[in-house]
Chain A
């Protein structure tokens, strides 16, 4: 279970998150500017909350009262940002293997097959289409054996047709690998299709949760 209980102030914007995520997939839903990406950044350790705590299965990642702030590279939180940020100077294969952890059970072959990127492995990043980039970024995050996977609008950059084709891959990650996922979207249909729990964020505040915590 993931327990988020933090407060983050940034200029005039404040983000206030109190939620328990105990379902396989949680959708963080809301209009742009609601603080969804900021919330993911805080969970990944890329931004530091002003106060509060973040816990994954009792592993404390952040706790301002105890002075705990685990560095991003020690959090084991996979993060596919909206722009995916594939390393432009590496091949697809080197990208995917970049974060492979010692003793990782999941093999490259398995992940590549699941996300259908086998034929892309020797390509260079600039040659990939938007949908291919999303799948490669997803594979790269999975290979680091994350205990939690954060996906920031993974379908925002692709057209409706591709969206229909990528969604099943996300369902496979959810069902076959059983990695808990926090999924940011502003599309209610996407939230319904993938998520078991929906948190609605508006102007930095949680305004609704389904099911209620």
Chain B
């Protein structure tokens, strides 16, 4: 077992997933916090679904989507992109599972931004996109940071969806969570314990950062 390879791979894929979830996550958070449109409740429910669904079920849905014969997989295959059982599948699973946490945190942050600032920006000639980028988002920055950290932490711990679409291929798709399971399964409890300790340290650090950001934001408010 190469604990450092596994840790490095997990951190890298989780970081990539966090970067990937930010653009759609911020957009969804804004739509849910400020949008007034038909189907808002439905969208809200869909976004949160991976939080409450069994992760393996979410993984199976993803597998059906991106499998070489799936609706998305066919398009990707034509472009020469293979997802299933590669590191890309790991990133995909992490992104989908982390997104709800990011969206919920950022949404709460946006809802706390005083609408008077947004109204002032609009009367100064700023359209909705400019208002979002220059006023709403900067004022919700602590929530964005906290949400990204939570999304990252969730990505680090991702297991169910990952094992479904990426499997547990040593050196190629094996993340911390998946490795712990595989090692324990084969009776290598000592090795598994090392990875548990590393996972705990990462999770602890991420939560500390997230809480620190929130408490700093509270102090300023």
Question: What residues of chain A have their CB less than 8 Å away from a CB belonging to chain B?
Answer: 44-46, 71-79, 81, 83, 85-89, 98-99, 101, 140-141, 144
Contacts and interface: CB of A to CB of B under 8 A. Distances in A.
A78 B121 contact: no
B139 interface: yes
A98 B119 contact: no
Given A87-B135, A88-B139, A89-B139, A73 B127 contact: yes
Contacts of A86: 120
Contacts of B127: 71, 73
A99 B121 CA distance: 8
B212 interface: no
B124 A76 contact: no
Contacts of B128: 73
Contact of A81 (B119, B126, B134, B139): B119
B177 to A, nearest CB: 38
Please provide the 10 A-B residue pairs with the shortest distance between their CB atoms, ordered closest to farther. Answer: A99-B124, A72-B122, A85-B120, A79-B123, A85-B116, A73-B122, A89-B138, A144-B124, A99-B125, A73-B127
A152 B24 CA distance: 38
A81 B116 contact: yes
Contacts of A75: 123
Interface of B: 114, 116-117, 119-128, 131, 134-135, 138-139
A182 to B, nearest CB: 13
Contacts of A141: 123-124
Contacts of B134: 98
Contacts of B114: 85
B120 A144 contact: no
30 contacts: A45-B122, A46-B122, A46-B123, A71-B127, A72-B122, A73-B127, A73-B131, A75-B123, A78-B123, A78-B124, A79-B119, A79-B120, A79-B123, A81-B116, A81-B119, A85-B117, A85-B119, A85-B120, A86-B120, A87-B121, A87-B135, A88-B117, A98-B124, A98-B134, A99-B121, A99-B123, A99-B125, A140-B124, A141-B123, A144-B124
Nearest to B120: A85
A89 to B, nearest CB: 5
